[in-house]
Structure 1
C-alpha cells in the first residue's frame, strides 16, 4: 500500500494508519493551529481514509520551557462495520 495514491515521503514524523505506511501520505489533510491557555501551541491534523471510511487525527503540542513534544492520536470507525487497522508513529527528532 506504500504510495497507493501518490509518492511516499519518509522522514520527520511519520504516521501510519489505517494499514502499514499511510496510503495517502502525500495527500492534503485537514489542519488546525491552536494557541492554548497555558501558553502551549498545538497542531491538529486529520483525514478520512478513502478505502474504509475511518477517520484518524493527531494533535501535536509544544509546551513553553519543556523539552518534549506531546502527540495524541485518535482513530474513529465512522462505519457500521467492524474495521481492522494498524496505527503507529515514528517521531524522529533530535534530543
Structure 2
C-alpha cells in the first residue's frame, strides 16, 4: 500500500525514443517508458472491442491500465483509465 504517489528518477533505464504510445504516468517520462507494456483484449456483448494496456510500476508497485474501445458503426474511440494501489 502506498499512501502517496512519489516521483521517480528519470532516465534510469536508458535512452528515450520518439514515436509510439507513451504512458506518462504517474509523472512525465517515467523510468519504464521504453519497456514493454502488458496487454489484454476483450470483446463486449454488443460488438465493441477493447484493448487494455498497462503495467505494474516496479519502483512503487502501483498498477495502471488504459483501455481503448472501438464500437461498431460509431466514429469514436473511448479511452478508460484504471489505477490500482
Do both proteins adopt the same fold according to a TM-score greater than 0.5, normalized to the shorter chain?
yes
Q: Does residue 8 of the first structure (1) align with residue 39 of the second (2)?
A: no
Q: How many residues align?
A: 77
Deviation at 1:2, TM superposition (A): 4.9
**Structure 1 residue runs without a partner (length 5+):** 78-95
For structure 2, the residue ranges without an aligned partner over 5 or more in a row are: 1-8
Partner SS state of residue 21, structure 1: coil
Question: TM-score, length-normalised on structure 2?
Answer: 0.74
Structure number with greater CO (CA < 8 Å, separation at least 6) is 1
Q: Which has the higher strand share?
A: 1
Provide the residue aligned with 1:60 in structure 2.
Answer: 68
C-alpha displacement at 1:14, in angstroms? Answer: 3.2
Across the aligned residues of Structure 1 and Structure 2, the Cα RMSD in angstroms comes to 1.9
What TM-score, normalized to structure 1?
A: 0.67
